[in-house]
């Protein structure tokens, strides 16, 4: 009995060491849209909390390598990321991060840089940040909805176009910075299985915008991040996420987020390692529809399904469960994306 308890505790310690929280930011400004922004004061407060509470902030590339190699990382490990390359990162966020000695990753699209959009950084600014501790990584050529085929475009043509998009972006970043991380942040957080397979074949990892802690159970082409902005920008909201754990998902069906053929109420089946989880305490949430008690199909497999059709565009199922052995919640998020009933996409 004692031996079994010790083995269980060792397993739980490994679990905790593997969990990494990846934060996603866009703007750090008081004048940009609140839905994608934190204020400079909020950002400083958050970085101060990480420093004061003993969090270890490491480069995203180091997180990825540890997950690939199944290596332990210290508890309370965090990676910081920014999407799009807005100028407020250079003028406001970077000096704060430099003050704390925190590395970060900046995902950029190429076309806005080439077009010299006023709110975006220039190559010179990005190169300067790269030399001062920022990793510059791939956010597609022009921030496209990558999963959307063009009119009269075949599946093969779509895949070839998207592959060229990602590889051309990677080359432009390599040529400018000398670095080649092969990390893609999906624009809008949208991806599908075919895109994931192409990225794997070409040696890429990829990050979505679904929430949760990353770790050994996270697909390397669908690593979760916690968005920090809008109603989720305050420190109280962030604290709970910083202590979240990597949900031990052994298997799931379906895993492809793209919904087709009118199947707008996907039934998600999830198999968990239940070592540190009580089935009675697992709760799921359907975006826009509220909480949903999962249906247990066996001792370690449950299903959850929306009562109503998911709306056109992006949605999520989130499932959480408290750890039996420590403070913190296991957190799992499955993104979904669907067209309108007529097959067209929501315009953004």
Do residues 169 and 291 both lie within one domain? no
Domain count of the chain? 2
Could you say which of 245, 276, 291 is where a domain stops?
245
Could you say which of 228, 245, 262 is where a domain stops?
245
Report the alpha-carbon distance of residue 45 to residue 47 in Å, rounded. Answer: 6
- Say whether pLDDT at 130 is over 60: yes
Domain-embedded: residue 260: yes
Q: What is the CATH number for 208?
A: 3.20.20.370
Do residues 224 and 264 both lie within one domain? no
- Say whether pLDDT at 19 is over 90: no
In the sheet with 245-246, reading across from the earlier edge strand, the strands are 245-246, 329-338, 313-322, 283-286, 290-292
Do residues 146 and 92 both lie within one domain? yes
pLDDT for res 340: 97
Q: Which residues contact 5 (CB under 8 A, 6 or more apart)?
A: none
Do residues 235 and 264 both lie within one domain? no
The residue behind tokens 């059709």 is 309
Do residues 282 and 308 both lie within one domain? yes
Q: 14 pLDDT band (50/70/90 cuts)? A: very low
Q: Which two tokens stand for residue 234?
A: 């305050």
Domain-embedded: residue 326: yes
Measured in whole angstroms, the distance separating CA 311 from the mean position of its chain's CA atoms is 22
Dump pLDDT digits (tens) for 48-93. Answer: 999 999 999 999 999 999 999 988 888 899 999 999 999 999 999 9
Q: What is the CATH number for 333?
A: 2.60.40.10
Full-model pTM: 0.94
Please choose, from the candidates 5, 1, 27, the residue with its C-alpha nearest in 3D space to the C-alpha of residue 228. 27
Do residues 173 and 301 both lie within one domain? no
303: DSSP letter: E
Dump pLDDT digits (tens) for 254-288. Answer: 999 999 999 999 999 999 999 999 999 999 999 99
Do residues 68 and 192 both lie within one domain? yes
In the sheet with 301-305, reading across from the earlier edge strand, the strands are 249-253, 267-272, 301-305, 295-296
Which range of residues forms the domain containing residue 127? 2-245
Q: By three-state DSSP, how is residue 42 classified?
A: helix
Do residues 287 and 143 both lie within one domain? no
Could you say which of 203, 221, 245 is where a domain stops?
245
Do residues 221 and 272 both lie within one domain? no
Report the alpha-carbon distance of residue 202 to residue 182 in Å, rounded. Answer: 9
Q: CA-CA-CA-CA torsion for 183, 184, 189, 190, nearest 10 degrees?
A: -130
Please choose, from the candidates 295, 334, 341, the residue with its C-alpha nearest in 3D space to the C-alpha of residue 314. 334
Is the Cα dihedral 238, 240, 243, 246 positive or negative? negative
Report the alpha-carbon distance of residue 302 to residue 279 in Å, rounded. Answer: 9
Q: By three-state DSSP, how is residue 187 classified?
A: helix
Q: Which two tokens stand for residue 178?
A: 């000398």
Domain-embedded: residue 346: no
């Amino acid at each position: 009995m004692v031996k079994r308890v010790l083995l269980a505790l060792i397993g739980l310690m490994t679990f905790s060491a593997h969990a990494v929280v990846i934060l996603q930011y866009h703007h750090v400004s008081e004048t940009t849209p609140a839905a994608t922004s934190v204020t400079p004061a909020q950002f400083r407060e958050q970085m101060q909390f990480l420093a004061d509470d003993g969090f270890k902030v490491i480069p995203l590339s180091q997180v990825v390598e540890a997950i690939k190699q199944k290596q332990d990382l210290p508890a309370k490990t965090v990676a910081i990321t920014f999407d799009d390359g807005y100028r407020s990162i250079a003028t406001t966020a970077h000096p704060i991060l430099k003050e704390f000695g925190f590395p970060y990753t900046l995902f950029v699209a190429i076309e806005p840089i080439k077009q010299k959009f006023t709110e975006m950084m220039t190559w010179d600014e990005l190169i300067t940040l790269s030399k001062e501790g920022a990793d510059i990584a791939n956010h597609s050529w022009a921030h496209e909805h990558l999963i959307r085929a063009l009119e009269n475009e075949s599946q093969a043509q779509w895949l070839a176009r998207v592959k060229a998009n990602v590889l051309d972006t990677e080359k432009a970043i390599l040529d400018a910075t000398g670095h080649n991380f092969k990390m893609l942040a999906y624009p809008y957080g949208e991806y599908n299985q075919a895109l994931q397979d192409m990225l794997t074949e070409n040696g890429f990892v990829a990050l979505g915008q679904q929430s949760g802690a990353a770790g050994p159970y996270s697909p390397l082409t669908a690593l979760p991040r916690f968005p920090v902005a809008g109603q989720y920008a305050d420190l109280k909201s962030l604290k709970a996420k910083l202590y979240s754990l990597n949900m031990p998902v052994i298997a799931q069906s379906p895993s492809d987020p793209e919904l087709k053929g009118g199947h707008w109420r996907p039934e998600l089946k999830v198999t968990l390692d239940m070592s540190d989880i009580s089935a009675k305490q697992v709760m799921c949430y359907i975006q826009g529809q509220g909480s949903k008690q999962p249906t247990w199909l066996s001792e370690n497999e449950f299903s959850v399904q929306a009562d109503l059709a998911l709306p056109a565009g992006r949605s999520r199922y989130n499932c959480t469960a408290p750890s039996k052995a420590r403070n913190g919640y296991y957190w799992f998020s499955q993104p979904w994306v669907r067209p309108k009933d007529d097959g067209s996409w929501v315009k953004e």
